[in-house]
Chains A and B, each alone.
Chain A
């Protein structure tokens, strides 16, 4: 769903680099494929650097053959949470620091889903995966914040349940030059333990409970996105139990774990309030 709407926004003048992830097998076996734009499969840790190379080549071609399509191409990375938060973080950090002209998209299904649901740094606390059979002890890595700390032109978080918001963010990112990062929450029915028809409902609940916050950081300026704005008020947020109960992967979550979840959500929103206050003071 994420790829469908992202490509609607970006159009055919895109070159996509996909490291090892669900995308590699979803698209079909040789000699057939599905995407109608150039698509390169790449080694696991190499996606960000390969996309940097492609974007440099576009610049080189643009200076050699000016006025053609090369100056308008977007170099895109579509990586999973494993290929971004774990093995790909070196490449991601390097590309962000260089302000490499690429659009890096992380679609986050909160585990290594393609190889059968193993835990990744993006797996939240208490989730059951094949490598954490009694629930993960550690917490979810806050990657959008890490990338924003690199002072890049654009960082955004999205969710597949809000496709129009996703579309607009991609359209905005397309026009910006420099390193852009978009982090999409993508619920996975077999991995998280819920029926496939509830996928959109699950994404919506993640935002409605205040766990997944939709925001943008444009040139250091923090902006809360429309769907998340009303959850600044804690009374409007749905209780996190509702989100955790219907996913089978949180079966083993203890009372202590639940309290930790609630605290984390409260702290995350406090941080956002501070950011917004700072912004108001500046203005």
Chain B
């Protein structure tokens, strides 16, 4: 059964991810249930077993096997998809590196959840951030529609011959995965114009399983061999993928009419802003509401949604720094032992190094383990930035150079 007409369905973020896999005509799915991603695998089961989606579904016995099966299927030349969360992502960490090293265009959605111990199943991006150096592109979705759209854009980016790298699409567990909103499901004829065709019989250009063209992948390479250079290429091609991400976002806007900034970041009311807040995931969308409310009160504030953490959009961050005097970078993740806050603020700080720009970057960490972040709290964050801009005064309750916002105090 194919999607003939555009439909608007009232579905949760997880189900939107499943619809996206169906729209992308994925061929092999391998999945293992884990809260809060369970409804993705359930909906995919529904699609596959009812005949709605002609895909092979491997119900593996652990997350490590999820990624191993995807690597195997992708090497054989098929489009693959899976979803996981928190502990599952950490368990498959070895294979995550393997998939990036084999340059396979796998797309995986992560319903991010807090890292145990102690058990916590609510929104927290530490799991994806912990895989930041593996070689996967990392993208954050802040709305249900964005989850659907990001998966479609991901296949176009990853299967491009100049990229050939896998991508994570992370969104907050329970915040986006279990709440429902109307999502536009696109029809097949429009999707055909945008998505690349499924791999043909020959498979991918760089790896294939074909008895007529026997090859071996993964030999030993001595230190004097090209191991160093092969690894260098992964970094090189990931850095160069920024222009492809931008290209794809533009093309997406032309065909489907939905804009995501320039693909790497999305700015909101930044033109005359004096201070700015950079957010990842759902908080970025909520920050736009905070900006609107503060602007009504007369404050000149702006917000930036960081869509792609890997490759890190260094040029875009530098441009934002040129516009404002103070930037607050909000991490919904922890990077233990780092004096410059979470992962995103550390990268922002190092982006400005040696550029001569003296914008202050204030690392903020909030919402860990799914702790609720209200609009009021975000407005307070803006106010702190404004005080910093006017008086140069840092907030009093910073811990080791980072503002841990929303810490609990029982009275």
Contact = CB atoms under 8 A, between A and B. Distances in A.
A56 B28 contact: yes
Interface residues of B, number: 47
Contacts of B94: 43, 45-46
B68 A60 contact: no
Contacts of A73: 209, 211
A39 B214 contact: yes
Contact of A50 (B69, B211, B214, B215): B69
Contacts of A15: 76, 209
A33 B54 contact: no
B225 A53 contact: no
Interface stretch (B59-67, B125-133, B289-297): B59-67
B220 interface: yes
A41 B217 contact: yes
B182 interface: no
Nearest to A24: B220
A164 B388 CA distance: 82
B76 A57 contact: yes
Given A40-B75, A53-B76, A56-B56, A29 B220 contact: yes
A126 to B, nearest CB: 34
Nearest to A45: B64
A93 B61 contact: yes
Contact of A57 (B66, B73, B216): B73
Contact of A43 (B27, B55, B70, B95): B95
A3 interface: no
B76 A54 contact: yes
Given A12-B211, A38-B215, A25 B220 contact: yes
Contacts of B58: 52-53, 56, 98, 100
B221 interface: yes
Interface in A34-64: 35-43, 45-54, 56-61, 63-64
Interface in B33-68: 54-56, 58-62, 64-68
Interface size of A as a range: 35 or more
Contacts of B76: 15, 53-54, 57-58, 61
A54 B76 CA distance: 6
Given A49-B72, A53-B72, A64 B198 contact: yes
A192 to B, nearest CB: 25
A28 interface: yes
A85 to B, nearest CB: 17
Contact of A27 (B59, B70, B216): B216
Given A14-B211, A30-B225, A90 B217 contact: no
Given A53-B28, A69-B211, A41 B75 contact: no
A94 interface: yes
Given A50-B69, A53-B69, A60 B27 contact: yes
B78 to A, nearest CB: 4
B202 to A, nearest CB: 11
A60 B72 CA distance: 13
B220 A30 contact: yes
Contacts of B65: 46, 48-49, 52, 90-91, 94
A54 B209 contact: yes
Given A29-B220, A56-B58, A12 B68 contact: no
B28 A37 contact: no
Contacts of B72: 17, 40, 42, 49-54, 57
15 contacts: A15-B209, A29-B220, A37-B211, A38-B210, A38-B215, A41-B216, A41-B217, A43-B94, A45-B68, A53-B76, A56-B56, A58-B76, A61-B76, A61-B77, A98-B59
Given A14-B211, A38-B215, A42-B71, 11 more contacts: A29-B221, A38-B208, A43-B94, A46-B65, A50-B68, A52-B60, A54-B72, A54-B76, A57-B28, A57-B77, A63-B54
